[in-house]
Structures are given as structure tokens and as C-alpha cells.
Amino acid sequence: MNATPFDFGKVAVLMGGVSAEREVSLMSGSGVLRALLSEGVDAHAFDPAERALEELKRDNFSRCFIALHGRFGEDGTVQGALELLGIPYTGSGVMASSVAIDKVMTKRILLADGLPTPRYVLLRNALQTGAELDAVVTALGLPLIVKPAREGSSIGLSKVTQRSAMAAAVAQARQLDADVLCEQFISGDEVTCPVLGSGDDARALPVIRIVAPDGNYDYQNKYFTDTTQYLVPCGLPAGEEAAIQALVLKTFRTLQCRGWARADVMIDQATRKPYLLEINTSPGMTGHSLVPMSARAAGMSYEALCLAVLRSAALDHAVPSGSRP
């Protein structure tokens, strides 16, 4: 039986935070809060940048909808704190969250399981010599992608088309993360596919094909312009869409994600082979966001989506209530 709004108890919508994606998180959280309130849920905004997480316990919150993005919200840290507080939360648990936000660790696991992802070179926290940057270009070819190893929303990402631009691209990414990921550029269709549910009950939603101005799906074009086209139905052959959904579901389960997520995929123009870029365990819920768009194509309203995600709130480790301090 589905939970009623009253069964959820007092709900905190975690939004804002201190990451580079604070602005987007506030937009996501505001949308979720309005949706939950419209459905009769006793929901309240809670910004961890302004309030201590201990207040969640003191103020008797029953569960949390995590609308935080990036570090200290999507990386396992808040999840771990909520585990200690014993307050169920939406999205993946501690381990899956911490792995998924780290693009290099995600790649290592995907490759170990035989799942396709673009080739990469990791630049650790050190000044790179010209020879080292030349070696990256030789290994990956041009163009290539340079981005922080643990950041989202395409913040700090550069597409490098000339060797002379490498140093500046690495320096820009390093402002956000000591580790910089250099990645093979896959030329072709850019798509994304959300997942709802957990374990065997997880299901992939319709694939969205993204057509950005000049192929530049950056932070600005993601959230603040109306020039990017989002095609759903995606227009891909049925077999290709089904293959991408199967690949994304396998990735979701391999990384032990739960609740919901959204995976980004590039389809090689020449071979039509899909390559997994990353998986987002706390996807955006703004007016430009893709999970609500895909859910709508599957017949699910924004409000119903928020309720479904909230219904999935859980803990990694359920501890008897009497055993907590």
C-alpha cells in the first residue's frame, strides 16, 4: 500500500548547502518543497549551510528529501550524518554516493565490470609539466574533455581542441578539485536516462536526447537558457534506447545505487556504441531538469515523482530506536 502524505511525518527538504552547486540546489529544493506541500506533506526547507544537522533530530523530522547537489550533499557525507541520526533519506546510501560523485572511482568500477566508459587520464594534485600534458594529448587525442574529478553540473569542465589550451583547462578544473580528469571525447549523440526504484524493482525511465547549442551542454545551457533542445521521445531506434536503458540499469545496480539516479551517456557517432560518462545520485529538480522531464514522458507528474522519491527514503543500516543515544 502506498504511503499517504500523513505517513511521511515531518519531512526536511535539504537544499542549498556549501558546494559549487548551491544555486542549483536551492532551485531544486524549492521545486520539491512546493510539490510536497501541494500534496499535503508536512515538508519544511532545511539548509545545512545555515543550520546544524543535529537540529533535524531535535525538531523531530521523520525523513529527509535530499535536494543537495555536489560535495557535502551528494558525496556520502550528509548521508553518513543521517545514518548516525537514524533519519531515513532519499537517494543512494553512503558508499554509492561517495563512489558515484568520484568520476574516476566510478570509471574504475565500471571498467572492472566490463561496462563501457571513455578512456581517461587522472592528473593528481601537482603542477603538470609540458611533457605530461603532451602525454595526455597523445594518449587521448584531440579534442578531449578536462573536468574536476568530483564536481557536477559541468562546473569547471572544458572541451580542449588545441594542445595550447591544456594548461588553462587543467588550471580551471583544479580550482574546484585537486584531482583533474582528462577524458576521451566521444563525438555523437548525448543522452541521459533516469532510474527510479531500488534493486530488482528499479526501472529505467525514457531516454532524453540533448541537443545543445554548438554541442556545448555547459552550466549556463543546462540551467539558465532555453536554447538547448531536449528530445523525448529521444528519436533513437527502439533497440538503441532499450540498450541504453539496460546499460544504465546495470550501472545503477553495479554501483549499488538506490531510490533514484540519472546516468549520462554518449553514443559514438560512427559505431553507435554507448559510453557511460557518470551517474548522478541526487539529480536536479529544477524547471530545466531532466528527471522530471523523463518522468512526465512516462506519465508521471512532478508531484508524483517527488512523492515516489520520498517514499523510497531509507537507511543503509536500520538500528533499533532504543539503541540510539
Catalytic residues: 21, 153, 223, 262, 264, 278, 280, 284
What gap in Å lies between CA 2 and CA 21, rounded to an integer? 33
- CB-count burial class (<10 Å; 0-12, 13-18, 19+) for 141: exposed
Contact 83/95 with Cβ under 8 angstroms?
no
Cα torsion 156, 210, 208, 191: sign: negative
- Quickly list DSSP for 63-129: EEEE---STTTSSSHHHHHHHHHT--BSS--HHHHHHHH-HHHHHHHHHHTT-----EEEE-SSPPP
Q: Which residues contact 302 (CB under 8 A, 6 or more apart)?
A: 31, 35, 285, 292, 295, 296
Q: Which residues contact 128 (CB under 8 A, 6 or more apart)?
A: 167, 170
Contact 44/11 with Cβ under 8 angstroms?
yes
Report the SS3 class of residue 144.
strand
